[in-house]
Structure 1
Amino acid sequence: MRVTEVVSHACRLPPASPWEDATNKVDGLEIIFVEVRTDGGLTGIGLTYTVDIGGTVIKALIDDYLTTLVIGMDPLDYEQIWNKMSRQSRRLGLGVNSMAMAAIDVAIWDIIGKHHKQPLYKMLGGARPSIPAYISEINLKADDTVDDLVRRVDDYVARGFTSAKIKIGKPDFAEDLERIARAKERLGPGGTLFVDLNQRWSASEAITKAAQLDRFGLGWIEEPTLYQDIQGHANLKKAVRTPIALGESLYSRAQFLDYLRADAVDIIQADVAFVGGITEWHKVAHMASAFGRPVAPHFMMELSLQLLCGVQNAFMLEDVVGGSLTELGLVEVPIKVENGIGVPSNRPGHGIVPDWSAIKRHELTPEKVRKAFAGGSK
């Protein structure tokens, strides 16, 4: 079996619910789908994404460079394919190249599952048939009140979630403390609350403020400070009892290894799109296991669901409000979390069936983005 063709499709659309955190306001999700076709009649579907910026760059890298590298290769040789793409694109640094590689790598694994007539999670180890999920909201608008937050948390509980993540990082830290206290109260004694800073605090500020969060018994504090500051995270981890989670801003297993060696992280949140796909994500997960750390991947619920059910050190699945492919209307077969539990599709491969007509309706082109892009960083 050989790869004969790679066809990419890029789309841009707003989140199904407005997204705003302490450092960014998101106007558009840019999702790049690929079809990797073979002479054996199998087609793998891959995808990657970016937030607000870079989708046209990723698509161009796939179309103009990576496609040429994989044509003619055996899709079952996933290590050869990944390493070839990695070696040829390494001079771009980390980020855009790994995000582009991810789309092809995910499609390759979809082919592998279809070839063996097995769902992805079983190809990756079949550690469990389901995984607990937490609801994750991105809502830190200036006019969002504590009462608004409480109403949403009540709705999450009614939908069967016992765990939720909220954004913090308000200019007035007292507002953060009130939001945490009220949300924790609504989740009840058996519930778990996670908080996410999106790198809002400085290193010294993080130590001072995070110490005041210990009393809440939070599940974790996510990305409290700049992702490059390994020593700052290590110092913070020593200073507080609340676990530290991070990983969505890291792009390789080497970067995760630096954090693990420094004892600077408790929970690994590798994003399958950002680290270059399933091949690299699986290595990150096993490396985390060697250090006794659980994995709770960032975003990409439909893929993360399969990945978590494949490994022993899985912690929880993130279900982001307004960000699932089902909510965005980009799939023909819905994939949803029910009553706080994610159950992976048993279709061969990853089970994601794109709605090509919907993707076409939201097509991303350089001309469109030049007219619309304004940026949302604060």
Structure 2
Amino acid sequence: MPTDTISAIKLSLAWVPLATPISDAKVFTGRQKPLTRVAMLFAEIETADGHTGLGFSYSKRAGGPGMYAHAREVADSLIGENPADIGRLWNKLVWAGASVGRSGLSTQAIAAIDIALWDLKAKRAGLPLGRLLGAWRDGVPSYNTSGGFLSSPLPEVLDNVEASIASGIGGIKIKVGHPDPKVDLTRLEAVANQIDGRVALMVDANQQWDRPTALRMCRAMEQYGLVWIEEPLDAYDIEGHAALAAAIDTPIASGEMLVSAAEHFAMIDARAVDFIQPDAARVGGITQFQRVTARAEQAGLMMAPHFAMEIHVHVSAAYPLGTWVEHFDWLDPLFNERQILEGGKMMLSTRPGLGVTLSDQARAWTEASCRIDAKGCTDHTHG
């Protein structure tokens, strides 16, 4: 039987504007400016037999153009390759750009291509990606984050809580880490009262506490029965996370800012978290995400992937232990399809692959694109 081969790869850089600038603790502590848009890197793969795959990666601040440029440089190494050989192709891509490292921006760039290969593989099998990966469940408990940013006044946050619960969400996460701890505790008390046990509750400090503050704040929050306290410390303070996890009853979650499987291994092996939070787009795609989840399962950890629900509902459905998926509607305009919430869960799509296709709006927001095939790379201009 003839082997199908990759005939072309289209890469696109698009920008998703946010309706309202948002701020978490990193803004209130002066480390970042409010977020106004998200950079998206799309990879669309075509094969000689007419199969296609779609993948994406992203950056919430600097880095989008760099990811696009790196992917553009290395993608030609896949032309003529068998798209089914995903592990080998990931290795080929990462070594094509290894002089700038095998983590961080370089692997976030190839994540879009890796995810497109998995989407293609699942489509060829006629299966949703979660089923291809070996789903354990039809739906994954889902929580909302986008309604609880520190930049939102408390009355607005409370309105968002009601809207999220009405939509079928299973949990609410609010941002904490404000320089004034009284602000955090006041907002948490109000949200907890508003929820009144109807759904789960989590908080996220976005790495803005030092060790003494984290211990003090986590202890003050124990009374609320939180599912987890997220990123109480710097993402790379593994020792601090481990000590904190051992000192309090509330589970600790972290991992979204780690940009390689190896960094996640270090956190897992140190028992630094109860919930590991990998992001497929940041660790290098689904190929590397599966390495993380294999280690996490072995350690008996729960999982709650970060952002990108269109990808993470599939990998979460295929994780054997307890897991949540984060609901963000920011990327909705990019796709023709929507994720479905029912009874507190995000349901696994019945459509093949990721189950999403790019919308006309995604094309309209595209700033740069190129098509790479056996003849070379053709750049396209966008007005």
TM-score > 0.5, shorter chain as reference:
yes
Q: Aligned pair 1:26/2:19, yes or no?
A: no
Deviation at 1:199, TM superposition (A): 0.6
**Distance in 1 separating the partners of 2:154 and 2:147:** 14
Q: Aligned pair 1:312/2:315, yes or no?
A: no
Residue matched to 1:52: 61
Give the residue type in structure 2 aligned to 1:289: E
- Structure 1 residues 364, 53: closer, same or farther in 2, change over 3 A? farther
Give the residue type in structure 2 aligned to 1:30: A
**Structure 1 length normalisation: TM-score?**
0.90
**Distance in 1 separating the partners of 2:287 and 2:187:** 39
Alpha-carbon RMSD: 1.7
Residue matched to 2:341: 337
Q: Which runs of at least 4 in structure 1 moved beyond 4 Å after TM superposition?
A: none
What SS is found at the alignment partner of 2:188? helix
Listed as ranges, the matches of 1:141-156 within 5 Å are: 141=150, 144-156=152-164
Deviation at 1:139, TM superposition (A): 4.5
Q: 1:92 aligns with which of 96, 100, 123?
A: 100
Q: 2:221 aligns with which of 213, 218, 224?
A: 213
How many residues are treated as equivalent by the alignment?
A: 359
**Distance in 2 separating the partners of 1:163 and 1:71:** 43
Give the residue type in structure 2 aligned to 1:8: L
8 Å contact kept, 1:103–1:277 = yes
Say which structure is richer in strand: 2
- Structure 1 residues 68, 314: closer, same or farther in 2, change over 3 A? farther
**Distance in 2 separating the partners of 1:16 and 1:81:** 38
**Distance in 2 separating the partners of 1:30 and 1:129:** 31
Deviation at 1:269, TM superposition (A): 0.7
- Structure 1 residues 139, 194: closer, same or farther in 2, change over 3 A? closer
Per-residue CA distance 1:217-253 (angstroms, 9 max, x = gap) = 1111111111111111111112211111011111122
**Distance in 1 separating the partners of 2:133 and 2:285:** 13
Per-residue CA distance 1:163-185 (angstroms, 9 max, x = gap) = 10000112211111111111112
Listed as ranges, the matches of 1:122-137 within 5 Å are: 122-137=131-146
**Distance in 2 separating the partners of 1:81 and 1:16:** 38
**Distance in 2 separating the partners of 1:199 and 1:72:** 44
Listed as ranges, the matches of 1:1-378 within 5 Å are: 1-24=4-27, 25-64=34-73, 66-93=74-101, 94-137=103-146, 139-141=148-150, 144-320=152-328, 322-323=329-330, 325-326=331-332, 329-355=333-359, 357-365=360-368
What are the ranges of 5 or more consecutive residues in structure 1 without an aligned counterpart? 367-378
Deviation at 1:83, TM superposition (A): 1.2
**Distance in 1 separating the partners of 2:274 and 2:50:** 44
8 Å contact kept, 2:243–2:272 = yes
**Distance in 1 separating the partners of 2:178 and 2:112:** 35
8 Å contact kept, 2:268–2:276 = no
**Structure 2 length normalisation: TM-score?**
0.89
What SS is found at the alignment partner of 1:210? helix
8 Å contact kept, 1:201–1:225 = yes
Give the residue type in structure 1 aligned to 2:55: G
**Distance in 2 separating the partners of 1:138 and 1:57:** 30
Taking only the aligned residue pairs, the percentage that are identical comes to 32
**Distance in 2 separating the partners of 1:264 and 1:141:** 26
Residue matched to 1:373: none
8 Å contact kept, 2:168–2:341 = no
What are the ranges of 5 or more consecutive residues in structure 2 without an aligned counterpart? 28-33, 370-383
**Distance in 1 separating the partners of 2:9 and 2:251:** 42
Deviation at 1:161, TM superposition (A): 2.5
What SS is found at the alignment partner of 1:174? helix
- Structure 1 residues 53, 138: closer, same or farther in 2, change over 3 A? farther
Per-residue CA distance 1:296-324 (angstroms, 9 max, x = gap) = 1000011111111122124111102x42x
